[in-house]
Structure 1
Amino acid sequence: MTSALRSLRRRILTPSDSETELSVRGFHEKDPESRDLLETVGRMFLRGYAFAAECSDIPEAEAKLETLPTRFRGFAYEGAGMGFAVRDGLPFGRHDFVDRFLRGKGEHHVYMIYVGVGWAMARLPRFRWPAVNVTDPLLRWLVLDGYGFHQAYFKTDKYVHQQYQEPNFPWPADGPKWYVQSATDQGIGRAMWFIGGTDPELVATMIDKFPEERRPSLYSGAGLAATYAGGVTEAELQKFADRAGKHLPQVAQASAFAATARVQSGLLVPHTDLATLAFCGVPAIEAHEISQETKPVPPFSGDIPPYEVWRRRLAERFAVTEGSGR
């Protein structure tokens, strides 16, 4: 494939670097350090997308991804997940990029890659969605998390300030429709951490404007972002925990998920511990271990998606810990 065609493919359906700047997006700027952090996250995401869009094959992209800084490499894998999903969804070429990516180095970044697939679905025509092969019955709901993040990040007024909900969402075709909004809201809440510029008071205030039934998922998403991306002090984390109130178990659940995503990929950094100690009462490694203890194992049964079963088990585990005075 010519370099010109690869460059064209890179530009298809993806934002420019400037669109990740908080001033361009109209997002809150808490302070220069947080602004730089969030904008670096955006640039690393797009760098990962570019690696996937332009590579001749997956090992080429993997080699480049592995050179990126530890703190931001997971975001680049998320961007690469989007890039390979876009390639799967295009009407020419092969359609197994995501599957092969997940069987290589992407195996350790599965959470981030599935979220990246959700970004791709937000930009691909819906009739191309079946070409994006996402089959894991446990983790596939992360795709809707990624979709929700994309919509809130790029259509903030509609999805955050107007609190828009997707009517009759067509994916997954065989999944319970009642869970779609909750999974999407987890991504919207995660985006709100960026929209609020990592300001815990502002993020909580935005969430509290939503109907009560949507707040648990929104707080969960914001808690995941606070743990994985960071950008806050210990005092600010505690402030967000206090504002979460009765939704703190959902914040703790998501914080443990973020710890798992970093531990399993070998990308654990100090701010992860800072967040899990504030939200879960334990260091990141222990939060990850609790997450694995509560993880459902196949065969799955029942009307509740196994991903939600996992989230509820984990939230209940931390709710009990909180009640015992951790």
Structure 2
Amino acid sequence: MPTTFGSLRRLALTPSLASVAFAGRGFPVTSTPATARLEAVPQAVVCGFEWGIDARDQWEVERRLGLVDPEHRGFAYEGVTMAFTVLDAMGRGRRTRDLLAGPGQPHIFLAYIGIGFAMARLPRPLWKKVLPELTGTPYHPTMSWLAVDGYGFDLAYFHTRRWVDEQCTPKPYPWQGAPEYFPRAVDQGIGRALWFIHGGSPKQVSSAVRKFGVQRQADLWSGVGLAATFAGGCTAEGLAGLRDEAGAYRAELAQGSVFASKARAYAGFVPAHCEDASTALTGLSVDAAAKLADDCAVDDRARDGSAHGAPPYELWRANVRMRFRDFGSALRPAPKPAAEAD
């Protein structure tokens, strides 16, 4: 049961389900069964946030999350992580660390995004407190850049005029010691948001991406590929059209799809739409795409050797992109160089 103070926090901080709906946000989306399923994603996040901000303990939250359909459970974990991050940053708790080291571990990729949602609601001086230390977690801290991705998604979804229509860019922040990379990770989140803002319509999403400066489009397309694969909302025919729309950015689209497949496989539940999207955007099954992600991973301490070297997260992304050089009639990743072959 929630505490009285918890209920007051929930009323003050939680967006309503209607306010995250596409119509409530004023997005140019035609209502269909497919867009309704896509719309359920932010609604699952809101439910998770409500449970997290209200909860007396982690046990209660875990039991509630266990009742969520497996397809949407990761999104609910996003919401709980967002709530716990806000509470921890404003106090001295360890809710986020306990969640991500425990039942949230299979959903670590989406949980990082939830941290980014919290960042959008916290003043920057508190950001130094949002990322828990997760010793023994294989994707920490490399994949913590997904928190910045989540921050970018939140900006675009809730402040669309400024961050999408006016294409503003955020002030750099030294996340993982790489302030110059911060705006790029934000753009990856904005690209994901475009998939939702336009209801998974390939032509509308493509048109929205092309309105941005050319230097930003690669990261935007990566975000589109991640959202299209992880969240779904598009037919097989539409996915083929999306690949065509990406044009010169097909490798970026494929890279985003590969990371989505890795996240789904790691969580232990792969919906049919994820398999369809992976096949259409990468030419690989989800299992094969997840293996490709593992093959391309880099050491957490890796840098390119320059004074402003790319963070390991970007090196990992670049390794995946490099595997997609041949875009013939059937999309297939390029084979490993001979020196790397098993």
Q: Same fold (TM over 0.5)?
A: yes
Q: 1:213 to 1:2 in 2, by over 3 A?
A: closer
Match of 1:125 among 123, 126, 130: 123
Letter in 2 for 1:285: D
* Structure 2 residue 295 is the aligned partner of structure 1 residue 289: no
**1:300: which partner in 2?**
302
Q: Give the superposition deviation at 1:171.
A: 4.1
Q: Give the superposition deviation at 1:276.
A: 0.4
Match of 2:192 among 183, 186, 190: 190
**Structure 1 stretch displaced more, 174-183 or 190-199:** 174-183
* Rounded Cα–Cα distance in structure 2 between residues aligned with 1:322 and 1:99: 45
Q: Secondary structure at the match of 2:325?
A: helix
Match of 1:261 among 248, 260, 263: 263
Q: Is the 8 A contact 1:219 1:251 kept in 2?
A: yes
Match of 1:312 among 318, 322, 329: 318
Q: Secondary structure at the match of 1:105?
A: coil
> Could you report, residue by residue, the CA deviation over 1:249-272 in whole angstroms, capped at 9, with x for unpaired residues?
111111011111111111211000
> Could you report, residue by residue, the CA deviation over 1:49-91 in whole angstroms, capped at 9, with x for unpaired residues?
112111112222112112101111111111111111111112x
Letter in 1 for 2:154: H
Q: Is the 8 A contact 1:189 1:221 kept in 2?
A: yes
Q: 1:134 to 1:315 in 2, by over 3 A?
A: farther
Q: Give the superposition deviation at 1:247.
A: 0.6
Letter in 2 for 1:139: M
* Rounded Cα–Cα distance in structure 2 between residues aligned with 1:16 and 1:180: 30
- What value does the CA root-mean-square deviation take over the aligned residues? 1.8
Q: Secondary structure at the match of 2:270?
A: coil
Q: Give the superposition deviation at 1:190.
A: 0.2
**1:19: which partner in 2?**
19
* Structural mapping, 1:75-224, within 5 Å: 75-90=75-90, 92=91, 94-135=92-133, 136-167=140-171, 169-172=172-175, 175-224=177-226
Q: Is the 8 A contact 2:236 2:280 kept in 1?
A: yes
Q: Give the superposition deviation at 1:320.
A: 4.4
**1:10: which partner in 2?**
10
- Taking only the aligned residue pairs, the percentage that are identical comes to 37
Q: 1:2 to 1:62 in 2, by over 3 A?
A: closer
> Could you report, residue by residue, the CA deviation over 1:108-129 in whole angstroms, capped at 9, with x for unpaired residues?
1111000000000100122222
Q: Give the superposition deviation at 1:324.
A: 8.3
Q: Is the 8 A contact 1:30 1:199 kept in 2?
A: no
* Rounded Cα–Cα distance in structure 2 between residues aligned with 1:43 and 1:324: 36
Which runs of 5 or more structure 1 residues have no equivalent in the other structure?
A: none
Q: Give the superposition deviation at 1:30.
A: 3.3
Letter in 2 for 1:150: D
Which runs of 5 or more structure 2 residues have no equivalent in the other structure?
A: 134-139, 333-342
Q: Is the 8 A contact 1:238 1:278 kept in 2?
A: yes
Q: 1:295 to 1:25 in 2, by over 3 A?
A: same
**Structure 1 stretch displaced more, 293-302 or 274-283:** 293-302
State the TM-score, normalized to the length of structure 1: 0.94
**Structure 1 stretch displaced more, 16-25 or 202-211:** 16-25
> Could you report, residue by residue, the CA deviation over 1:231-282 in whole angstroms, capped at 9, with x for unpaired residues?
1100000111000011111111110111111111112110001000001101
**Structure 1 stretch displaced more, 97-106 or 126-135:** 126-135
Letter in 1 for 2:173: P
Q: Is the 8 A contact 1:13 1:124 kept in 2?
A: no
Q: Is the 8 A contact 2:169 2:183 kept in 1?
A: yes
Q: Is the 8 A contact 2:9 2:54 kept in 1?
A: yes
